[in-house]
Amino acid sequence: MTRVLVLNGPNLGRLGVREPEIYGAASFPDLVAAAERWAGELGLEAEVRQTDDESQIVGWLHEAVDTRAHVVINPAAFTHYSYALRDAAAQVTTSGLLLVEVHLSNPAARESFRHHSVVSGVATGTVAGFGFDSYRLALSALAARLGS
Ligand code: DQA
């Protein structure tokens, strides 16, 4: 089965507690369950992970390349400044794998420091602003692109 790593950056483990008016009332375990279910329905095998650590998420992107897994990634605040994450994401897409950037909120409609993503330029595509549904749409676009 086609493997997808669903990677989540800093503070996303705090979903449900953190600014629920922006990110919603559901928890990270709720997101894991939903993403695994959606992936299964699409014929994909998703592994959902979260870290607050930049080197960890860079390592997971290297793992995606080495194990030929596609990626759905919410880089959270790393989106806006981590060139290390961007360079690791570039290795995924230049190796022929798909990488979809997702955001729960719509960063373009928020503070100006969120308007720029250093990741978008090396992503296959981006889905933002639909809450948990951003992940469902990303998985669905990935499955469609793969023809699965
Ligand atoms: C986020 C948007 C980022 O600007 C923010 O730093 C996050 C979450 C989102 O999913 O909307 O932590 O990536």
Domain segments of the chain as ranges? 2-146
Give the position, in ligand 1's atom list, of the atom nearest the Cα of 134. Answer: 10
Q: Is the CB of 74 under 6 A from ligand 1?
A: yes
In ligand 1, which atom is closest to the CA atom of 23? 11
Q: Mind listing the pLDDT tens digit for each residue in 84-100?
A: 999 999 999 999 999 99
DSSP letter for 128, please.
Answer: E
Q: Find how far residue 124's CA is from the centre of its chain.
A: 12
pLDDT at 68 (0 to 100):
98
What is the spatial distance between Cα 2 and Cα 79, in angstroms, rounded to a whole number?
26
Catalytic residues: 23, 103
**Does ligand 1 lie within 6 Å of residue 11's CB atom?**
yes
Indicate if ligand 1 lies below 6 Å from the C-beta of 103.
Answer: yes
Fold of the domain spanning 2-146 = Rossmann fold (3.40.50)
Name the residue with the closest Cα to ligand 1, atom 2: 76
Ligand 1 centroid vs 56 CA: distance in angstroms? 18
pTM over 0.85: yes
Is residue 74 a contact partner of residue 51, using CB atoms and an 8 Å limit? no
CA distances from 18 to 22, 34, 80, 82 (A): 8, 19, 19, 22
User: Which segments of the chain have a pLDDT < 50?
Assistant: none
- Does ligand 1 come within 6 angstroms of the Cβ of 79? yes
pLDDT of residue 1: 85
DSSP state of 116: -
What does the buried/exposed string (b/e) look like for 101-135 if buried means 16 or more CB atoms within 10 Å of the residue's CB?
Answer: bbbbbebeeeeeebeebbbeebbbebbbebebebb
